[in-house]
A and B are shown apart, each in its own frame.
Chain A
């Protein structure tokens, strides 16, 4: 009886926790303030900026990265393609930074519109939106290898 109960708990834990296949076909656009003189970044540069390991633009301005909320499919694609890690791994990285007293993550915005607004309001900002999003006056950067 005890064994059966344990097996049942184990089974349902695994079932509950099993991953749901994600739709990861969407692409993204990397955007910065319209006044930025930068027009392209390497994947490594973008990664370092979003992990706050590269904190200055070439003109000396502070880099202000902004993320989409963790459940966003655009964030999922961006995290995999640019940072090379899953969103949960990146969350784990930031929690480690926070709890060890080393720093805080970039702000998270609930919608792409809010990301765009943040980028347009802050000259040093860098964000990403889905490939189909209207980026308005924001400058779209090319991402190289």
Chain B
């Protein structure tokens, strides 16, 4: 053990002058991260919000990029959520992503590891609060399982391979991502073992026809073993549910005015029973002035099953984002939920309520 340590330290000492002559260490290792502290309180006594009012050490993330050579990048995002204390089983520690990426050409890079699923606007931004305006990412298109859907439109993470890149066609910039992964599982760790032979596929293409305009299309297809099986004792029988989701998004920023819209729809088809068709949409308007203040309004809508009446949910978000100093933001907003009685998340009485949310976020 001690011999190994001595060898390692000797190697580093010998290597250091060589590295420091060639490139500075901050050109090889990039350390970044973010921090988010939040407060939530429901206004009024009826509803399904946080009635007590709670402080939340929402996130502390470390993002590390190592680039031993220009073409090769190792990237990871390590996340500690809700003031993690494993002794008490509180909070969560997670590898949000960890992958190796090799760039062959600008239009062809290959990734392997755990990655965010490339879909729409928010899944790759994920929980990085310093880089989006509102306190939370939209539920209707990004976390629809928390807005009344039984199953998400697409998983947030995946382990597998991805190819992607960027290129220009006639002055319009494009980028694309194609990912093959284990997909979502319930009985096995999806980042270690696939419980069915069919892989999940996701694809996204984005175009920038103008400097401040982005248009994107995304799709996700998966086959999930566990969704509809009937358990006999502790045994699971075979049977798969086909999950297909697709959508489009648009981001437009001009003279401080920001418009962001996303639409996702798709089907969930169990091996027996009816196919479920569902869709979600979100539209956000914002206005940045004095390079610091951004008032915003967002509307969200989800229909978890078009064949079921009275299960839809809507959310209206009114807020302001203030950049206090470089990369330090304060966000204040009111979220009004208006859901129908059969919505699985908010239904069953007191479906509509308003919640105050505040956050202090910092990125470095």
Residue ranges of A at the interface with B (Cβ–Cβ < 8 Å):
13-14, 16-19, 53, 55-56, 62, 70, 84, 86, 88-89, 91-92, 95-96, 98-104, 107
Contact = CB atoms under 8 A, between A and B. Distances in A.
Contacts, number: 77
A92 B131 contact: yes
B63 A17 contact: no
A107 B70 contact: no
Interface of B: 24, 26-27, 30, 32, 34, 61, 63, 65, 67, 70, 73, 75, 77, 97, 99, 106, 115-116, 124-126, 128, 130-131, 166, 173, 211, 290-292, 322-327, 330, 363
A56 B106 contact: yes
**Majority secondary structure, B binding face:** strand
User: Nearest 5 CB-CB pairs, A to B?
Assistant: A99-B128, A100-B124, A96-B131, A104-B30, A86-B291
B124 A17 contact: no
Given A13-B322, A99-B126, 4 more contacts: A19-B292, A70-B326, A91-B326, A104-B73
A53 B323 contact: no
Contacts of A89: 291
B106 A55 contact: yes
Nearest to B29: A104
Contacts of B290: 18-19
A100 B324 contact: no
A66 B75 CA distance: 21
A101 B115 contact: yes
Contacts of B131: 92, 95-96, 99
Contact of B70 (A62, A84, A88): A62
Contact of B322 (A17, A101, A104, A107): A17
A13 B332 CA distance: 13
Nearest to B324: A17
A84 B290 CA distance: 15
Nearest to B177: A102
